[in-house]
Amino acid sequence: MSEKQTDRKTYILKMALQLFSTQGISSTSMQEIAEVCEMSKGSLYLHFKSKEELEESIYLYCYQLVLDSVMLVEQDSLLSPREQLQKQVEVLLSHLIELREFLKKQFIDGPGPSKKHGHPDCIREDHFRMLGWFKLKLESIYGPKVEPYTMDLTLFFGGILASYLRMLFIPGLPLNIQRMSRHLISLLDDVSESFISKGAEPLIDSDMWSHWVNEFNEQSDFQRHPLQVTKEMKVILKENLLHNNTYKDALESIHILEKEIVDIQPRRVILLGMIGNLAQISELQVLNDELKEIISLYSNN
C-alpha cells in the first residue's frame, strides 16, 4: 500500500470515527462518510469494501492506537519503571477520554462486528500478555519480594483502574488525569508495601499463576509487542562495543522501525527493510528473528 493510500485510509478512519461518535454506527451511512471525506461513495468502497469492514478497521485503529501509545512509554529510558507505569496510566486515560463519545455510542448501538480483537480467543491472548507484562513491571518496581503477590496486586490494580475508567462516562464530572494516575500508583505502592511487610499468604499463589501461563502457552502462539523487542535491541546495542557507525546505523534502523510500527498502516516493505539492516549484527540475531515473526501480522499492508 502506497504512502498516499495509507494517509487517505487513515483520514477516512478518523472522519468516520467522528461521525460514529456523534451519530452512532447504525445511524451513519457510507454516503454520509463519503460526503464528509469529500469523495464519491464509489471511491470510499475502494478503500473499504463494506460498512462492516470500515467499522472493524475503526475498532482495530482505536485498539492499536491505545496499545502502541502505552508501549511507547516503555522506550523512555529516562523514566523509572514506576514513573513509566504512572505515565502509561495517564496515556490510557487520556486516549479513552478522546474516544469517550465513540465508546458511549457503542453501548447504545450494541456490540460491534465480529472482529479480530473482539474474538474471545484474541481477548484471552491479549489479557494474558498484559498479565505477564504487568507482572514483570511490578517486579521491576518493587523488587523480587513482591513476586508472590503479583497476581493479587494485578487484580487489585485492574479493579481500581476499571472503576476509574467508568468515571470517564459520568457527564460533567471534572477529571484530572495526572492526579488520577498519581493516586492510583500511590494506592498500588501502599498495598504492595502492606503485602510485603506482613508476609501474608497470597490469594493467588505462584503455582496457580504458573499453571495459567503454561496452559495459555500450550494453546497460543505467544508474540510480544514489537516495541518490547526493539527496546531490548537498544539495550543490547548499548551493552556491546560496536563500531561507531555500525551502532548509529542500527539505532537509526530501530527508530525507523518503531515509527513505522505505531503508524495506522505500517508499510511492510519498510519494516522488512529495517529488519534486513539489523540482520548484519550477530548480537541481535535472536531478537531480529523474533521481530520478523511478529511482522507477519502486517502481511496484508
Q: CA-to-CA distance for 31 and 44, rounded, in angstroms?
A: 9
Angle formed at CA 132 by CA 150 and CA 128, multiple of 5 degrees:
115
Give yes or no for a contact between 68 and 261, defined as CB atoms under 8 angstroms apart: yes
- Does pTM top 0.85 for this prediction? no
Q: On the CB side of 235, how many CA atoms lie within 13 Å of its CA?
A: 11
Grid cell of 159 as nine digits: 479493579
Q: CA-to-CA distance for 193 and 26, rounded, in angstroms?
A: 49
b/e map 127-137, b = 16+ CB within 10 Å: ebbbbbbbbeb
Q: CA-to-CA distance for 283 and 267, rounded, in angstroms?
A: 26
User: Which of 143, 126, 150, 130 minimizes the C-alpha distance to 206?
Assistant: 150
Q: What is the pLDDT of residue 299?
A: 47
Summarize pLDDT for 74-113 with one digit per residue, the tens. Answer: 888 899 999 999 999 999 999 888 888 887 776 555 555 4
Provide the residue-wise pLDDT of the chain in tens; the chain has 301 residues. 555 666 788 889 989 998 988 888 888 999 999 999 999 999 999 999 999 999 888 888 888 888 888 888 988 889 999 999 999 999 999 988 888 888 777 655 555 544 444 444 554 566 667 777 888 899 999 999 999 999 899 889 989 988 888 887 777 777 788 999 999 999 999 999 999 999 888 988 777 766 666 665 555 555 677 888 888 888 888 887 777 888 888 899 998 988 888 776 678 888 889 999 998 888 889 998 888 888 776 544 4
Q: CA-to-CA distance for 186 and 193, rounded, in angstroms?
A: 11
Q: CA-to-CA distance for 63 and 130, rounded, in angstroms?
A: 14
Q: CA-to-CA distance for 9 and 94, rounded, in angstroms?
A: 24
The H or E element that residue 74 is part of is none
- How distant, in Å, are the alpha carbons of 99, 110, 169, 259, 283 from that of 107? 13, 5, 11, 33, 49
Q: What is the pLDDT of residue 181?
A: 93
Q: CA-to-CA distance for 104 and 173, rounded, in angstroms?
A: 15
Phi, psi of 202 (to 5 degrees): -70, 150
Q: What is the pLDDT of residue 155?
A: 87
Task: Give the type of residue at 13.
Answer: L
Helices (H) and strands (E) in the chain, counts: 14, 0
Summarize pLDDT for 120-133 with one digit per residue, the tens. Answer: 455 456 666 777 78
Domain map of the chain by residue range? Answer: 226-298
- How distant, in Å, are the alpha carbons of 95, 108, 175, 176, 294 from that of 168? 11, 16, 8, 11, 34
